Amino acid sequence: MNDGKYDIGMVGLGVMGQNLTLNMADHGFSVAGFDRDAAKGEALRAAAGGRPVAAAATLAEFVGLLRAPRAIMMLVPAGPPVDSVIRDLLPHLAAGDLIIDGGNSYYVDTDARGKALAARGIAYLGVGVSGGEHGARHGPSLMPGGPREAYERVRPVLEAVAAHVGAEPCVTYLGPGSAGHYVKMVHNGIEYALMQLIAESYDLLKRGLGLSDAELAAVFAGWNAGELNGYLMEITAQIFGRIDERTGKPLIDEILDEAGQKGTGMWTSQDAMNLQTPIPTIDAAVALRDLSGFKTEREAASRVLAGPPQRFSGDRDAFLASLGHALHAAMIVAYGQGLALLHTASQARGYGLHLADVARIWRGGCIIRAALLEPIRAAYDRQPDLPNLLLDAELGAAVAGRQADLRGVVAAGASLGIPVLGFMSALAYFDGYRSAWLPANLIQAQRDYFGAHTYERIDAQGVFHTQWEQE
């Protein structure tokens, strides 16, 4: 349409906003950008080359550049900045316009914003964007939620800019309200779990087997070439090969061992608690990031709390192979926990998620993309309402067939005094899930003993209470 107006607007021209803008423009969409920081608008102009991109100096000018009904994407930090952009935009917008939040917003906020804007006739999409800077520029995985008709309006843009696996774009309409941001939150929860499992493997190999950084790079590159293939495996191999310009030593050994976090993993764990759906490997990943932050206490404790010698004395090659198998099994469990949470949340919140679609759009562009997502997608294709990946014949067998390796790795961590809570949680979850009987009968008896909370029986219907204390 040659009306001099732009197809879509972008508010927030930081690295992600600028890259996604250029990505859109490369696919033939004209984009008007705005950032409160004039330098970022200038940077976009400089990067635009001959592309159909403009950077407006004011919000009023920016809105005026857009074709009505307008579609405006925000890529600003989650939290108050999102509300502030919406507040500033509103006086310039009209009924029928669409705002898209591409940040890692808390899904509860997305629901509230969507409702408030709908009351003013403005549509709102919460779109998870994964893949970092490179993804934004060359093809992210996009997880959109909100009104379907709003998605259909911007679908050509989103499909064009998304990563593709074969001919399939890594984007699809996921569901109403906060469905997109919820799926992105759980994506990040799984991301935390996979990173923790990889970090524990590193710890076993470094402190346990004494591998050098060059050897670690080779091990992870080898794993990435096989069934463990995935983006996080690939970058881990590259990280171990990186030499620090400042010291000439491997950079990894110069990095402080305190993990940061912006909250998405914690939100995943918190909501899993709310929905009473266990995701212990994601919980473990959040907890271990938290523990890493207690650096001073850990240093003090390390001087007084001795453990066993941390050097592994068994067959190194056999252990390496076993660790690869254990990692594969634990990763299936981690994806499985996240997807089981999505299964529950979809029912509880009315998202109507198709988990085969979720697995499909995670196969490319995003941080948790991995070869494993192909069999995971196939599992949900076979059985769309599968409550847990462990109940899929193929993936269940893949974990069960590697359980001896998983047990060996957990035992090695325990005997060497190397913390492997991620692996332990994955194994205990597997053992708990496959237990037709769990000792929860005792917990019920205790609850009834001290609080008259009652219990059910296996041999009769109804609710029972016992007078446990006998005078």
Q: What residues act catalytically? A: 184, 191
By beta-carbon proximity to ligand 6PG, the closer residue of 376 and 427 is 376
Q: Which residue is nearest to ligand 6PG (CB)?
A: 130
By beta-carbon proximity to ligand 6PG, the closer residue of 186 and 326 is 186
In the numeric block, the tokens 């690869």 are attached to 324
Q: Least distance in Å: CB of 218 to ligand 6PG? A: 27
Q: Least distance in Å: CB of 343 to ligand 6PG? A: 21
Record the tokens describing residue 5, joined without a space. Answer: 């107006």
User: CA separation (Å) from 283 to 191, 236, 374, 461?
Assistant: 12, 22, 25, 36
By beta-carbon proximity to ligand 6PG, the closer residue of 322 and 337 is 337
Q: What does the H/E/C string look like for 330-360?
A: HHHHHHHHHHHHHHHHHHHHCCCCCHHHHHH
Decide: 129 and 140 in contact? Cβ < 8 Å: yes
Rounded to whole angstroms, the Cα distance separating 423 from 428 reads 9
Report the interface residues with ligand 6PG, using CB under 6 A.
104, 130-132, 188, 191, 260-262, 264-265, 366-367
Q: Least distance in Å: CB of 187 to ligand 6PG? A: 6
By beta-carbon proximity to ligand 6PG, the closer residue of 40 and 181 is 181
Rounded to whole angstroms, the Cα distance separating 445 from 437 reads 15
Q: Least distance in Å: CB of 420 to ligand 6PG? A: 20
Q: Least distance in Å: CB of 104 to ligand 6PG? A: 5
Decide: 389 and 339 in contact? Cβ < 8 Å: yes
Q: Per the omega criterion (within 30 degrees of 0), is the bond before 69 cis?
A: yes
What's the CA angle centered on 287, arms 316 and 321, to 5 degrees? Answer: 15
Record the tokens describing residue 212, joined without a space. Answer: 């050098």
**Of 208, 192, 202, which Cα lies nearest the Cα of 411?**
208
Q: Least distance in Å: CB of 332 to ligand 6PG? A: 20
By beta-carbon proximity to ligand 6PG, the closer residue of 20 and 65 is 20
Sign of the four-CA dihedral 109, 111, 112, 116: positive
By beta-carbon proximity to ligand 6PG, the closer residue of 208 and 365 is 365
**Of 100, 89, 98, 193, which Cα lies nearest the Cα of 144?**
100
